[in-house]
């Protein structure tokens, strides 16, 4: 546990990816049967794709938004919420995921660096609105009433991730960085472990079904299902705090 020294932490940062929602039935991107097997990333998750075929991109997100009504948080989501509630220190959850399972599992102040399926943004007035139905080119902006104007409030490839300033501060301050359920393919998220180690103070743990692209960068690796491993890790951390 945490190498050969027992230690207590004060500021934990947890980065999550699609793998933490896999046991809830939400499809990942790069596993077998993943989303990118059916759609080329370039055809549905870039601004150019939206400009080229907005109806197809809207359909891609409408399908995933509708699936949110059929899935539930799993023990990995609720374990992180328990850590946030009971840990004597700060616990920041940064997610690459666009689902709402962390929140529905009880987590608070989740940082959605790649946006959220349950929100749309107006390209005319820049308003951001909760949205849970199907959005298409005829859907009017709730504020300025323009159409076509609404797009998914999602960070596409080539776009600046959200909340990078807050993320940088939390990574700088953390003494434990845990990465859960991500393949380590997508930047800047895949570089966070390197950012943390550049500061030099934090212990780093990867929790993933299999070694990620960045596995060798972590001081500790726990491979298996997040729904099994994360509750055990949270128990260990709460015993320490
Ligand atoms: C940016 C929203 C500048 C969409 C997403 C070369 C060429 C071109 C571009 C680049 C390049 N090199 C780097 C880039 C930049 C690019 C990038 O990284 N491209 C990659 C493909 C190389 N990045 C960007 O464009 C980003 N913007 O760089 O702007 C900048 C830079 C710095 C600072 C400021 C600005 C924007 C990236 C965001 C793109 N949008 N999502 C949508 O969701 O529809 S990314 C998309 O991939 C999802 O958000 C997803 O979360 C994310 C990462 O994937 P993972 O979450 O890791 O999912 P994956 O399926 O890959 O892996 C799942 C893992 O879980 C697996 O390892 C599996 O083993 C594991 N697992 C499965 N089951 C379980 C499990 N683990 C535990 N338990 C289980 N049960």
Q: What is the pLDDT of residue 43?
A: 85
Using alpha carbons only, give the angle 13, 15, 19 rounded to the nearest 5 degrees. Answer: 145
Task: Determine whether the shortest distance from the Cβ of 164 to ligand 1 is under 6 A.
Answer: yes
Backbone angles phi, psi at 94, to 5 degrees: -110, 120
Q: What is the pLDDT of residue 141?
A: 98
* Helix ranges, the chain (H): 19-22, 35-38, 41-44, 47-52, 54-67, 75-86, 101-104, 164-173, 192-199, 226-240
Q: What is the pLDDT of residue 4?
A: 46
Residue among 20, 29, 184 whose CB has most ligand 1 atoms within 8 A, to mutate: 29
Q: How far is the CA of 156 from the centre of ligand 1 (A)?
A: 10
Q: What is the pLDDT of residue 41?
A: 84
Q: How far is the CA of 188 from the centre of ligand 1 (A)?
A: 8
- Tell me the average confidence (pLDDT) per consecutive run of 10 residues in the chain, 241 residues long: 66 98 89 74 91 94 93 98 97 98 98 98 98 96 97 97 98 97 97 93 96 97 98 96 80
Q: How far is the CA of 174 from the centre of ligand 1 (A)?
A: 22
Which residues participate in catalysis according to the annotation? 114
From first CA to last CA, the distance across the chain in angstroms is 14
Report pTM.
0.95
The one-character DSSP state at 87 is: -
Closest CA to ligand 1's atom 24 = 157
């Amino acid at each position: 546990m945490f190498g050969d020294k027992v230690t207590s932490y004060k500021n934990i940062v947890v980065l999550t990816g699609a793998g933490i929602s896999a046991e809830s039935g939400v499809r990942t991107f790069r596993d077998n049967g993943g989303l990118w097997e059916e759609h080329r990333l370039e055809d549905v998750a870039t601004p150019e794709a939206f400009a080229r075929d907005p109806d197809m991109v809207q359909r891609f997100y409408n399908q995933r938004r509708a699936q949110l009504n059929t899935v539930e948080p799993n023990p990995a989501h609720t374990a992180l919420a328990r850590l946030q509630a009971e840990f004597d220190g700060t616990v920041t959850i940064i997610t690459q995921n666009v689902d709402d399972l962390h929140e529905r599992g009880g987590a608070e102040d989740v940082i959605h660096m790649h946006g959220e399926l349950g929100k749309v943004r107006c390209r005319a007035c820049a308003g951001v609105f909760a949205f849970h139905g199907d959005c298409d080119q005829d859907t009017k902006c709730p504020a300025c009433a323009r159409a076509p104007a609404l797009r998914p409030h999602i960070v596409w490839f080539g776009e600046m991730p959200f909340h990078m300033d807050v993320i940088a501060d939390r990574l700088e301050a953390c003494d434990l960085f845990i990465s859960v359920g991500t393949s380590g393919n997508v930047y800047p998220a895949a570089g966070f472990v390197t950012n943390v180690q550049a500061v030099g103070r934090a212990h780093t743990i990867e929790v993933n079904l299999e070694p990620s692209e960045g596995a060798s960068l972590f001081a500790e690796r726990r491979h298996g299902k997040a729904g099994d491993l994360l509750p055990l890790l949270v128990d260990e951390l709460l015993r320490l705090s």
